Chain A
Amino acid sequence: MRVAELVTAIVLALLSVYLMWKSGEGPSWDPTIARFDNIGFDETGAPGSGFWPFWLSLVMFFSSIWVMVNWWKRTSPPSQSDQPYMDGYSWKMMLLVGGGLFAFLGLIEWLGFYAGIFLFLVYYLRFLGRHTWRRTLLIAVLTPVFCFFFFDVAMRIVLPKGITEPLFLPLYDIFL
């Protein structure tokens, strides 16, 4: 955890430097305006568009340094802890759950929400949760059906269907 504390602080410091650099960006239609022209007060006396994000990023940068100092002095709890940042179990779950979620969103882009929800629930309930097939399928089928009626039909929020769209046309005909 000691290493992770330092690495995170460095990453955050780099992030704040990037944000400062990005805040100073001028408008795209006029390349003659120099970077960091917009972080101070302009001729009318009002702060420019980069004022707020730039100085706050700077504050964030110094706070990251402060975290590093605390790490060096070992005053913050994570910098004293000998426990691993994430142990084997955590890594495994993080990958299975986090990876599953990324795959879930990928499936949504491709197959649409309803097929995506079905597959994600089957994956999670059956393979992570070790529920019976009966229970898995019951939940994995009922959830998308309920969602269709709640969102598409009742709330008129049309969730994307991806390539499964043609299958839904008859349903629109009946319910919308």
Chain B
Amino acid sequence: MEVIPSLVDGIFQALMPINLGLCVVGVVVGLFVGAMPGLGSVNGVAILLPFTFVIQDLTGSATSPMIFLAAIYYGAMYGGAISSITLGIPGASTAVATTFDGRPLALQGKAELALVTAAIASFIGATVANVFFTAFAPPLASVALKFGNPEIFALMLLAFSTFIGLGGDDIPKTIISIALGLVLATVGFDIITGEPRLQFGDPLDLFPATADWIDTTGFSHGIRFLVLAIGVYGIGEMIWTINSTRGEVTMTEANVNFRSVMSAIKKFPQAWKGTTIGSFLGFFVGILPAAGATPGSLMSYGVTKMVSKDKDSYGKGNVNGVAAPEAANNSASTGAMLPMMTLGIPGSPTTAVLLAGMVIWGLQPGPLLFSEQPDFVWPLIGSFYVSNLVAVLVNLAFIPIFLWMLRMPFTILAPMIFVLSVIGTYAAYQNMFDVWLMLIFGIGAYLLRILDYPLAPAVLAIVLGPIAEPTMRQSLLLSDGSFAIFFNRPIAGPITVIAIILLFLPLAKVIWDKTRGKTSVA
């Protein structure tokens, strides 16, 4: 294998002025698009796709436009953490887990610590993934092919099980939250039977008179993740914050200067555990088609919390809780490039658009890409390393600007967040129906929030549900309805067993504690 010389050559190609320039521009664009709630890497990449045609004409190769789009993708992954931490709204599903600990840190006046941790963890995650990608791309692609529907479902089960402890102490309320999220995820259209379902307000509904009031075809595309997430975090949580603080939100004045950023960098080693788990787990979940970066970042958070000695500090501002999902989502997004390039299979919406781009530039992604198009592949891989370095530097340089946002008076910040939530929801789906739905969810989330209903599980459920449900039913179609299919396959079996053990571990613990408690009383 001549991987090393190819890679060095590729990095030099990526450092050519035009490519380096595209990297920098791409990263900055991506950072801002990613930091905007509602817009994520997929928007940035899709919108700038036609522009790449022009770049291709200028440079005469497909490499430069791809480097540009990959740089946007990287930038957006870094940017996602910024709105999660500073505004408390996850900009994209990949950054949901970052809010759990990033937001509390920001509220404690340690936003720069959270932002720096996110940036460095992202850098490490992406670097680990790049090394894996460079060294093992073709063999890993064949692993991804082994993941059929039963395996993906088992993986989703595992993702849920790592999250069971997330909800807090009230078990029935956590279950309600998960179940509601999973049911909402099925609204719209069932691909297995090709039938519409749970489309509220159609003529068969309870109140036929209301049928004409609203255009319920808005439900036909389902209730999408961002609608719920922005409602919960951008509206519900904001109103809750206003009321619980009587409108006097005081953020501890963050001392932002070069020294404070440096000292935050020095504190980074505290987050080594989360970073390590995130980097590795994120990559391996990321390479599986259909999974993408979101389950990877959620599972990394869950696992990091699970193996931690100090579980209670999670959700209250533990740096590991920021590092794990951020390392994972960057690592997973590099991972998701792998099935896209080697199999022609998009692992996420963003890679789907990148794939469309490659086809437009006249490339055929697939098993032969590496051997037939080395002139394209290696400079692109080289650019991963370059963009990643550019992204971390740009991100660190911009941190003071993002912190400045936090120092705005709350009566300015709050309406800005509301406006961003509304525009962001519209921009994501170009649909006013979703914006109304977002607001209704937001108010509902506030009402439930007061009574200690945990809402994060619902948000996660709506992300994982649309992957879990069809894969479960496709598997059962395959097995004629026998659940044994989840146990007797070499990869799905062990994953399912581990998931079930993890699911019942907390329950067993509760029963154990109770019986022991009883005996000690007696």
Please say whether the chains A and B touch (CB closer than 8 A): yes
Q: Are B423 and A59 in contact (CB under 8 A)?
A: no
Contact with A along B145-174 (1 / 0, CB 8 A): 000000000000000000000000011110
B481 contacts the other chain (Cβ, under 8 Å)? yes
| A8-B448, A28-B196, A49-B192 as given contacts; A18 in contact with B206, CB under 8 Å | yes
**Binary interface profile of B, 192-203, with partner A (CB < 8 Å = 1, else 0)?**
110111101011
Count residues of A near B (Cβ-Cβ below 8 Å).
70
- Complex Cα distance A164/B368, Å? 53
Contact assessment for B451 and A59 in the assembled complex, using a CB-CB cutoff below 8 Å: no
Rounded to whole angstroms, the CA-CA distance of A76 and B168 in the bound complex is 12
Could you mark each residue 50-61 of chain A with 1 if its beta carbon is under 8 Å from any beta carbon of chain B, else 0? 111100110110
- In the complex, the answer to whether A27 meets B435 with C-beta atoms within 8 Å is no
User: Which residues of A sit under 8 angstroms from B39, Cβ to Cβ?
Assistant: 155
Question: A121, B419: Cβ atoms under 8 Å?
Answer: yes
A64 touching B172 in the complex, CB below 8 Å, given contacts A57-B179, A108-B432: yes
**Closest partner residue, chain A, to B416 (CB atom):** A143
Write the chain A residue with the least CB distance to B474: A46
What is the total number of residues of chain B having a CB less than 8 Å from a CB of chain A? 69
Nearest-CB distance from A66 to chain B (Å)?
A: 4
A57 to B198, CA, bound (A): 12
What's the Cα separation between A128 and B415 when bound, in Å? 10
Interface residues of A in 16-32 (CB under 8 A from B): 16, 18-19, 22-23, 25, 27-28
- Counting chain A CB atoms within 10 Å of each CB, the highest count among B179, B196, B439 belongs to B179
User: Which chain A residues border B482 with CB–CB below 8 Å?
Assistant: 45
**Chain A residues within 8 Å of B190, by CB:** 49
Q: In angstroms, how far is the closest chain B Cβ from the Cβ of A10?
A: 13
Q: How far is the CA of A125 from the CA of B416 in the complex (A)?
A: 10
The secondary-structure label for the interface of chain B is: helix
Q: Of B415, B418, B473, which contacts A47 at CB under 8 A?
A: B473
**Bound complex: CA of A49 vs CA of B432, how far in Å?**
28
Alpha-carbon gap, A45 to B170, bound state (A): 36
Do residues B469 and A52 form an inter-chain contact, with CB atoms below 8 A?
Answer: yes
Once the chains bind, are A45 and B476 in contact (CB under 8 Å)?
yes
The reply on A41 being an interface residue by CB < 8 A is yes
A149 within 8 A of B: no
Are B435's CB and A49's CB within 8 A?
Answer: no
The answer to the question of B323 belonging to the interface, with a C-beta cut-off of 8 Å to chain A, is: no
A1-B451, A18-B206 in contact; A125/B412 too (CB < 8 A)? yes
Cβ–Cβ < 8 Å partners of B197 in chain A: 23, 25, 49-50, 53
| Contact residues of A: prevailing secondary structure | helix
Task: Report the bound CA distance from A172 to B372 in whole Å.
Answer: 44
- Enumerate chain B residues within 8 angstroms of A160, measured Cβ to Cβ: 426, 432
Residue B409 interfacial (CB < 8 Å): yes
Q: Is B87 an interface residue (CB 8 A)?
A: no
A102–B439 contact, CB under 8 A? yes
- B47 located at the interface, meaning its Cβ lies under 8 Å from any Cβ of chain A in the complex: yes
Interface residue A94 (Cβ < 8 Å from any Cβ of B): yes
Q: Is B522 an interface residue (CB 8 A)?
A: no
A34 to chain B, nearest CB (A): 13
For the complex formed, measure the closest distance between the CB of B169 and the CB atoms of chain A, giving whole angstroms: 9
> For B192, what are the chain A residues with a Cβ–Cβ distance below 8 Å?
46, 49
Among B246, B422, B448, max chain A CB count under 10 A is at B422
Q: Is B443 an interface residue (CB 8 A)?
A: yes
- The yes or no answer to B204 lying at the interface (CB within 8 A) is yes
Q: In this assembly, does B249 line the interface, its C-beta being within 8 Å of a C-beta of chain A?
A: no
Cα distance A140–B453 in the bound complex, in angstroms: 35
Residue contact A101 to B439, C-beta cutoff 8 Å: yes
Given contacts A19-B183, A97-B242, contact A109 B432 (CB under 8 A): yes
The answer to whether A74 has its CB under 8 Å from any CB of chain B is no
Separation of A79 and B416 alpha carbons in the complex (Å) = 36
Chain A neighbourhood of B200, CB < 8 A: 22
The distance in angstroms between the C-alpha atoms of A146 and B447, with both chains bound, is 33
Is B180 part of the binding interface, using a Cβ–Cβ cutoff of 8 Å?
yes
B250 at the interface (CB under 8 A from A): no
B residues in contact with A38, CB < 8 Å? 193
The CA-CA distance from A27 to B190 in the complex, in Å, is 11
Given B183, B418, B451, which contacts A60 in the complex, CB threshold below 8 Å? B183
In the complex, whether B260 has a CB less than 8 A from a CB of chain A is no
Compute how far the CA of A159 lies from the CA of B427 in the bound complex, rounded to whole angstroms: 8
A60 to B182, CA, bound (A): 10
Q: Enumerate chain A residues within 8 angstroms of B430, measured Cβ to Cβ.
A: 157
Instruction: Decide if A93 is an interface residue (CB 8 Å cutoff).
Output: yes
Residues 216 to 247 of chain B near chain A (Cβ within 8 Å)? 235, 239, 242-243, 246-247
Q: Which residues of A contact B196 (CB under 8 A)?
A: 27-28
Chain B residues near A28: list those with CB within 8 A: 196, 202-204
State which residues 115-135 of A face B: CB under 8 Å.
117, 120-121, 124-125, 128-131
Closest CB-CB distance, A152 to chain B, in whole Å?
A: 11
B209 within 8 A of A: no
Q: Nearest CB to that of B181 among chain A residues?
A: A56
Name which residue of chain A comes closest to B451, CB basis: A78
For the complex, is B253 an interface residue (Cβ under 8 Å from A)?
Answer: no
Interface pairs (24), CB distance under 8 Å: A23-B186, A28-B196, A45-B481, A50-B197, A63-B173, A63-B175, A63-B176, A66-B171, A66-B175, A67-B176, A70-B170, A77-B452, A86-B243, A86-B450, A94-B239, A105-B435, A108-B432, A109-B432, A120-B418, A128-B411, A143-B419, A157-B427, A159-B426, A160-B426
Ranked 9 nearest A-B pairs via Cβ: A45-B481, A129-B411, A66-B172, A124-B415, A45-B480, A60-B179, A49-B190, A46-B477, A63-B172
List residues of A whose CB falls within 8 A of some B CB: 1, 4-5, 8, 12, 16, 18-19, 22-23, 25, 27-28, 38, 41, 44-53, 56-57, 59-60, 63-64, 66-67, 70, 76-78, 85-86, 89-90, 93-94, 97-98, 101-102, 104-105, 108-109, 113, 117, 120-121, 124-125, 128-131, 139, 143, 147, 151, 155-157, 159-160
